[in-house]
Structure 1
Amino acid sequence: MRIIAGAHKGARLSSPSGANTRPTADRVKESLFSMLDGYGVLQAANVLDLFAGSGGLGFEAMSRGAAQVDFVDSSLASLRTLQANADKLGLDHSAKVHAGDVLHFLAGLPGPDDPEARTFDLVFMDPPYPLGEDAVTQILGRLAAHLDMESIVIVERAARSPEPAMPDGLEVFRSKTFGETAVHFVQLVGEG
């Protein structure tokens, strides 16, 4: 697995051992980031990479101009790999690796009324395909409090899975299928 474009183009990333991670294929990543470039969301972005695995999506975003990425994963192998990749790329100052369950991480973030509240410009959510649709919806519901009207959430699922059910306040505004992978672009529901 490698970084496709940007400041770290061509850099090889390590992958966690075992069969529990599913890195995003290069052709999917290339198309996805082409679309994100078109939306102008990458430059100086505050990014959240949930179920990060090796961090391929988050590190690609950093290579293309994102300011900071928070990586969240519960697998010890993934956490070690994330830190090793950040160190290898010299991005450990702007890549924060968080150990734990995604829902617990989101529950621990300061709420919107807290002066410490954080808003993410771009969120990658590539949960294991066996994760149920109810869990995906619950995560999106928790995530909504940490988005603004310009934020984009990318949900990657198996092409055979249904489109994720959206909690109140969120909508899918674009979907694209690449072979066995479906990518859904999610945002807050616009007013008016």
Structure 2
Amino acid sequence: MRIIAGKYKGRTVKFPKSNLVRPTTDKNKESIFNFLVNQIDFDGIRVLDIYAGSGSLGLEALSRGASEVHFVEKDFHVSKMLEENINSLNAKNECKIFRMEAIRFSKIKEHEKYNLILADPPFFNYDVHIVVKNILDNNFLEDDGIFLVERSIQTKGKDEEAFQQNYFRKLGDSLIYIFNKEKKLL
């Protein structure tokens, strides 16, 4: 896996060999960021990468100009690899890792506001439905913020019922859902 664009372009992002992590493919990441670049000015934004895994999505945003990226990753060993990836970019001052479950993080009442929130949970993990609701209800997004969730085509029915909207875009076997502060698809 690599960083596609920006100041860290071409740098490798390591990920653990574990069934706990399902990294977004470079092709999907490129499609996601091609869309986002037309929606957001990355310079100086604050980003939240939930279910961060190796941190590939958040580090891509950092490379493109985000000033601060917060990562949420519950697994200790996976978060250690995330920390290695951050350190390999000398980006420790711009990054913060929250070692906790996404549901617990999404319930925090006193929190930062983010311009971009990225969620790429394990495909058959359904706690993301609660996390999306909590984040939107608890006002994690800035007024012009975007919340992007990557899911599997195999979970489409349950996801669309829980999110109360259709997917935005299909990328291979992934479906992309996008929310704004009003909980609506863009």
Q: 1:190 offset after TM fit, Å?
A: 8.0
Aligned pairs for 1:40-189 (under 5 A) are: 40-110=40-110, 117-132=111-126, 135-144=127-136, 145-162=139-156, 163-164=159-160, 165-166=162-163, 175-189=168-182
Query: Gapped runs of 5+ residues in structure 2?
Result: none
Distance 1:47 1:127 in 2: 16
Q: 1:109 offset after TM fit, Å?
A: 4.5
Q: 1:60 offset after TM fit, Å?
A: 0.3
Distance 1:44 1:17 in 2: 33
Q: Deviations over 1:51-109 (max 9, x none)?
A: 00000000000000011111011111211011100100010111101101111122234
Distance 2:48 2:40 in 1: 17
Distance 2:105 2:112 in 1: 13
* Secondary structure of the corresponding residue to residue 132 of structure 2: helix
Tell me if structure 1 keeps the 8 A contact 2:124–2:155: no
Distance 1:177 1:13 in 2: 24
* Secondary structure of the corresponding residue to residue 175 of structure 2: strand
Q: 1:186 offset after TM fit, Å?
A: 1.2
* Secondary structure of the corresponding residue to residue 148 of structure 1: strand
- Identity in percent: 30
Query: Gapped runs of 5+ residues in structure 1?
Result: 111-116
Q: Which residue of 1 aligns with 2:21?
A: 21
* Secondary structure of the corresponding residue to residue 122 of structure 1: strand
Distance 2:44 2:153 in 1: 31
Distance 1:190 1:60 in 2: 25
* Secondary structure of the corresponding residue to residue 21 of structure 1: coil
* Secondary structure of the corresponding residue to residue 144 of structure 2: coil
Letter in 2 for 1:143: I
Distance 1:150 1:190 in 2: 12
Tell me if structure 1 keeps the 8 A contact 2:123–2:151: yes
With structure 2 as the length reference, what TM-score do the two structures score? Answer: 0.89
Aligned-residue RMSD, C-alpha: 1.9
With structure 1 as the length reference, what TM-score do the two structures score? Answer: 0.86
* Secondary structure of the corresponding residue to residue 70 of structure 1: strand
